[in-house]
Structure 1
Amino acid sequence: MPLVLIPGYMLDDALWDGMLPFLPAALPLHFASLAEGDSIAAMAQAVLAHCPPQFSLLGFSMGGYVAREVVRLAPGRVQSLALVATSSRADLPLQVEQRSKAARARPIGTFRGLGRAAIAQSLHPDNSANEALLTQVRLMGERLGREVFVRQSLIVREADTGRLPDIRCPTLVVAAAQDQLRRAEEARELADGIPGAKLVTVPDAGHLIPLEQPQALASILTVIFR
């Protein structure tokens, strides 16, 4: 069964590079992009337009919101689902304000991706000064560019907790033990809300599980993606 991978905010295909060697060699992979669309629904429609007829689906962070919308748009096509480091909660007003302010700020010089402090907050404390990881994340944002940064920053994530029971495919929720952006109870809400969903927590990882613990994540995913 093909696996469609949806990245998160200002991330591209490179998010999965460390995980690929640990996935089954025969597993067909499709790399989705969030470079199109000015809402979660529009992103989901853009992703779905490039998906195979039947597929498994993984959504990371903002990609988790998009993945759930894909399931709602095409429930008969998604055979299994993994939601990694994500939530069903709405953005807080302060989060909306901060991202909107950054998006509307007057451009100064060449766009170089996300700032160091923002990236560091997404990492395990032990990795907050890891130059290789910091650079890898910054370069993903730089490749996507300022236009995508503005568009993604202005997207408001709305709560869909009440609609979680509508998801009927086998679902795995993956959380990070040291995630500074998404709390453990948010992962538990997802797992409790989706019928039959399982919850697994990855130790020694911050929000960016695919970069920090790629082998552990790949091992967990083989439970649901075969």
Structure 2
Amino acid sequence: MAIVLVSGFMADETLWDDLVDPLTDYGPVLPFALREGDTIETMAEAIIPHLPERFHIVGFSMGGYVAREIVRRLPEQIESLILIATSARGDTEEMIRQRRSALKSPPERFKGLSRPAIQSSLHPAMRDDADMLARVRDMGVALGGHVFHRQSSMARDGDLDRLSDITAPTLIIAADTDDLRSPAEAQELVGGITGASLVTIPNSGHMIPLEQPDALARVMTGWLETL
């Protein structure tokens, strides 16, 4: 059974590098970055033609919104859903303003996310780790300025009122020190998706696949074994 991995805001396929080997025991691993589309719907539409007949789907952060859209469009093809460090809330005006304020420079001058932006996504113990900062920045550079402009210009609608549409077995994974997504947002996902369960990864900020890949892999593979 294939495992489809959907990355988040300005994160390319290398987000999942440390999880590919442990997940391969459960089926072919297919990572996707959100290179195309300027809405959640069009991002999902860009990925759907490349999907197998049946699969597990994993969505990280903004990729969680896209994963849920894919689940709604292809319910008969979904084996299970895993949502990591994500939410079902719509963007606030302040979130939209902050992202769009970074669009003053043309796409050609984009050199990756700023140091403060990257640090806000990491556990305090990781915020001055040069290798971690470079890894997050390099993902943004690889995606490029045009993708940054598209993703930063978006205004995501929430889907709290549609979570009950999801009937696939679902696991929610949160971090204990995520400054971008709150415990309440994880609880909303658990409460809205029938039968969903929640696991919290300790000692991690928002970037769980990079910060705590071993712990994340154990949680994911342990849950997949129960299906």
- Please report the TM-score for the alignment, with normalisation by the length of structure 1: 0.96
In the alignment, is the contact (CA less than 8 A) between 2:107 and 2:149 conserved in 1? no
Deviation (angstroms), 1:215: 0.6
Say which SS state the counterpart of residue 37 (structure 2) adopts: coil
Amino acid at match of 2:167: R
Amino acid at match of 2:91: D
Moved over 4 A (4+): none
CA RMSD of aligned residues (A): 1.3
Number of residue-to-residue matches in the alignment: 225
Alignment of 1:33-112 (within 5 A): 33-103=33-103, 105-107=104-106, 110-112=109-111
Residue 127 of structure 1: aligned partner:
126
Separation (CA, whole Å) in 1 of partners of 2:72 and 2:223 = 19
User: Structure 1 residues 108, 20: closer, same or farther in 2, change over 3 A?
Assistant: closer
Amino acid at match of 2:90: A
In the alignment, is the contact (CA less than 8 A) between 2:10 and 2:148 conserved in 1? yes
**More helix per residue: 1 or 2?**
2
User: Structure 1 residues 24, 92: closer, same or farther in 2, change over 3 A?
Assistant: same
User: Structure 1 residues 190, 26: closer, same or farther in 2, change over 3 A?
Assistant: closer
Residue 193 of structure 1: aligned partner:
192
Separation (CA, whole Å) in 2 of partners of 1:192 and 1:56 = 21
Deviation (angstroms), 1:112: 1.2
Q: Which structure has more RCO (C-alpha within 8 Å, separation ≥ 6)?
A: 1
Say which SS state the counterpart of residue 34 (structure 1) adopts: coil
- Please report the TM-score for the alignment, with normalisation by the length of structure 2: 0.95
Moved more, 46-55 or 60-69: 46-55
Say which SS state the counterpart of residue 76 (structure 1) adopts: helix
Moved more, 105-114 or 170-179: 105-114
In the alignment, is the contact (CA less than 8 A) between 1:81 and 1:169 conserved in 2? yes
Query: Per-residue displacement from partner, 1:40-66 (whole Å, max 9, x unpaired)?
Result: 000011111111011100000000000
Residue 180 of structure 1: aligned partner:
179
Amino acid at match of 2:178: D
Runs of 5+ unmatched residues, structure 1? none
Residue 31 of structure 1: aligned partner:
31
In the alignment, is the contact (CA less than 8 A) between 1:90 and 1:157 conserved in 2? yes
Deviation (angstroms), 1:33: 2.1
Query: Per-residue displacement from partner, 1:186-221 (whole Å, max 9, x unpaired)?
Result: 001101110000000000000000000001111111
